[in-house]
Structure 1
Amino acid sequence: MKLPPLKALPVFEAVARLNSFSHAAEELAVSQSAVSHQIKQLETYLGEQLFWRSGRTLTLTDEGRQYLDAVSSALLQIERASEQLLGHEESRIRLSVFSSFAVRWLVPRLPELQRLHPQIDLALEMSSENPQLSDRVADCFITVHKNSAAYSYELLYVEQLFPVCSQDYWQKIRRELGREGADADNEALTPDEVARFPLLSTHSIFEKPAGDWEVWYKAVDRDIPSGARIQHFSHMLLALEAARFHQGVALTNDYMLSTRKDSEDFVRLPCHPVITGDEFYFAWKTSRRRERGIQVLRRWLLDEAIRGGLRSGGQGGSEGI
């Protein structure tokens, strides 16, 4: 087995992570010249330049970025394997997750995770967009993109949108539409009836103004009525808060209303839902599939998704294992 200078690998990882020779030297408790020597030795062995140096600016080369992904993963696996043999049960896991999914679905469930699996030390990394799947970012991810062949994926949720409003606003809708009878809660609203009230739109879902309502109307072969009043919000969390405070009708999804006690503040209107095309997956690097902490977290997330109705028990399966 032909290996590179092994002492240089943690040094390379530290320099790349901290983007600094001096900071890496401080973290590793060695001199800066010792760090420089280890990096030079590694570059000589590989025959590749790992960093671009320009004055005080330090950046990874393309070869350096590629090497870092492999080295970081290998060092993590060595650390986890050593901890297992040493009898250290605690598993430190960084999970990158969308802010809305974290706030409305995951965080309320964390006490149950801690009760069932106290050995899991979970650190959440919030993301507003799909992050790069890399050990440098997190150990595992909740993502809607399956764009890395190096990762395995477990389906958690196929997203659908449906209209909601506050309890008080629902009474206002019923009064204005003359639907105050006992069966009004189950009598379907037409798209034209919905458009008589302010439509609270989330830009981030389809990255275009009123894109969510446009898709909702197209599901029944309609355009948004020309006289519709639309209020625009950048994020679903904001639109849902506006709906809570009786400002109109918002489109939301299942996980936004799945566990929070304040979900009782909302009424799901008797209207059609629409599938957005986004599928939420738990993703982990296939080479790390034997790490017990990641698999415990995967199983728990899947069980919670099934128990909470996001996913049926027979739906989908793990891909890439």
Structure 2
Amino acid sequence: MRDRLPPLRAMRVLEAVWKHGSIAAAAENLNVTQSAIGHQLRQIEEWSGVALMIREGRRIHLTDAGESLALVVHRGFSAIRHEVDRLTMRERLPVTLAAMPLVAQSWLLPSLPQFHAAHPQIALHLATIQSDQPMTPEPDVAILFSLSGDLPAEATAIIGGRAVPVCAPDYLVRHPIRQDRDILAGRLLQDEDSRMWSDWAIAAKCAVPAPPEQALLYLAGSNLLTDAALAGQGIALCREALISGPLADGRLIALSDTAIDTGACYYYTISTDGRKKSTVGVVVAWLQTLAA
């Protein structure tokens, strides 16, 4: 059995002759001369040692062997065309990226223009998701939060838990802060991670009692925590990666060099369907660049 393939260009010509019923019609379809068609068919005959053409007067027809080979070639090319179409359609499907609200709003949304400029061929759909409320259908990529830092199988950490105390400039005007101890005497904003302020006090070596209940404003969710800090309602311990924009433009001010790593993290997972799209790899690479 031969290991090498016949001339593929010539096989394309053979299929055209079989499909269109004559050398003249095949030549017109392929935009070549009839003599070029005959030359390609003779190449296959020389390669195979089998007669593919028979002349009847001024007309040339395929032999039974030519018809048989052309049918096999047609089926092969049809399978290739079908698979290419399937792959092309899959790559044209949008990539759905779902993230926790704060990540979507503060981390992803500001960077979307740069992503679209670099990858105009990728339709990226951004949605919000909650850890306890799975999306249907499942997104290609999901960014979720782990308070404990324990990750599901096949998950990858993307944003760490390093947090610093921040406030809005107008809060700082109303409540001057000169040292770490002054931070704990202010109005502290607290989300569901109740350990953060006590851990920060230990890291800052502030041997002070826990702040009174009235000094704490409890907020369900890191997005509300950040919004409250931006609104000047108090001091929040925010994860640096998610407030880089407000820190850079001065809407938030870091109050101390003391930071804590809570052990919590945001992570991403890729769905089964997402793993079938090469465009998802581009999106994941972009996420990793943002996190670097």
TM-score range, shorter chain: 0.5 to 0.7
1:251 match: secondary structure? strand
CA contact (8 A) 1:214 1:223 kept: no
Question: What amino acid is aligned across from residue 182 of structure 2 in structure 1?
Answer: E
What is the aligned partner in structure 1 of residue 245 from structure 2?
Answer: 259
Mapping for residues 35-114 of structure 1, pairs under 5 Å = 83=85, 85-86=87-88, 89-114=91-116
Give the partner amino acid of 1:236.
Answer: S
CA contact (8 A) 1:102 1:126 kept: yes
The residue number in structure 1 matching 2:183 is 194
| 1:100 CA drift (Å) | 0.5
Equivalent residue in structure 2 for 1:116, among 97, 118, 124: 118
- Cα offset for 1:84? 5.5
1:24 matched to which residue of 2?
Answer: none
Which structure has the bigger radius of gyration? 2
Distance, in Å, in 2 between the alignment partners of 1:277 and 1:271 is 19
**What residue is the counterpart of 1:225 in the other structure?**
210
Alignment CA distance shift 1:128-1:140 (3 Å): same
- Quick one: distance in 2 between partners of 1:279 and 1:261? 20
Deviation of 1:256 (Å): 2.7
Aligned position for 1:39: none
Deviations, residues 139-195 of structure 1 (Å, cap 9, x unaligned): 12113456544x3x4432212121111112223443xx6x5xxxxxxxxx23x3212
CA distance in 2, matches of 1:129, 1:224: 34
Q: Which has the higher helix share?
A: 2
Q: Distance in 2 between matches of 1:288 and 1:225?
A: 47
Name the SS for the 2:109 alignment partner.
helix
- For residues 106 and 219 of structure 2, the distance between their equivalents in structure 1, rounded to whole angstroms, comes to 18
TM-score by length of 1: 0.55
The whole-number CA distance in structure 2 between the counterparts of 1:141 and 1:105 is: 14
**Selected match of 1:160 from 162, 173, 177:** 162
Equivalent residue of 2:262, what SS?
strand
Give aligned pairs, total.
Answer: 205
Name the counterpart of 2:142: 141
**C-alpha contact 2:104 2:127 (8 A) present in aligned 1:** no
Tell me, in whole angstroms, the C-alpha distance in 2 between the residues paired with 1:256 and 1:85.
Answer: 36
The aligned amino acid for 1:250 is A
Query: What amino acid is the match of 1:110?
Result: L
Question: Are the counterparts in 2 of residues 160 and 254 from structure 1 also a CA contact under 8 Å?
Answer: yes
Contact 1:217–1:224 (CA under 8 A) maintained in structure 2: no
Unmatched tracts of structure 1, length 5 or more: 1-80, 180-188, 307-321
Find the residue that maps to 1:128 and give its secondary structure.
coil
After superposition, what is the alpha-carbon deviation per residue over 1:259-281, rounded to whole angstroms, capped at 9, x for unaligned? 35885121100241111112222
Whole-Å separation in 1 of the counterparts to 2:264 and 2:139 = 21
| Pairwise CA distance, 1:218 | 4.1
Matched, 1:171 2:167: no
Aligned to 2:138, the other structure's residue is in SS state coil
Query: 1:295 and 2:284 equivalent?
Result: no
Aligned partners of 1:83 and 1:164: how far apart in 2? 53
- Encode CA deviations 1:6-30: one digit per residue, 9 max, x unaligned: xxxxxxxxxxxxxxxxxxxxxxxxx
Q: Is the 8 A contact 2:189 2:235 kept in 1?
A: yes
Q: Compare 96-105 and 244-253 and name the one that shifted more.
A: 244-253
Cα 1:95/1:85, change in 2 over 3 Å? closer
RMSD: 3.1
Equivalent AA in structure 2 for residue 225 of structure 1: A
Q: 2:185·2:211 contact (CA, 8 Å) conserved in 1?
A: no
Contact 2:98–2:142, Cα closer than 8 Å, also in 1: yes
Q: 1:83, CA displacement in angstroms?
A: 4.8
Q: Superposed, which structure 2 residues align to 1:297-316 within 5 Å?
A: 297-306=283-292
Percent identical residues: 23
**Matched residue SS, 1:120:** coil
Partner of 1:21: none
Q: After TM superposition, give the deviation of residue 85 of structure 1 in Å.
A: 4.0
Unaligned runs of 5+ in 2: 1-82
Counterparts of 2:258 and 2:118, CA distance in 1 = 38
Distance in 2, Cα, partners of 1:102 & 1:274: 23
**Partners of 2:265 and 2:92 in 1: CA distance:** 31
Tell me, yes or no, if the aligned pair for 2:101 and 2:223 is still in contact at 8 Å.
Answer: no
Alignment partner of 1:212 is 2:214: no
Distance 1:223 1:275 in 2: 20
d(CA) in 2 for partners of 1:289, 1:107: 23
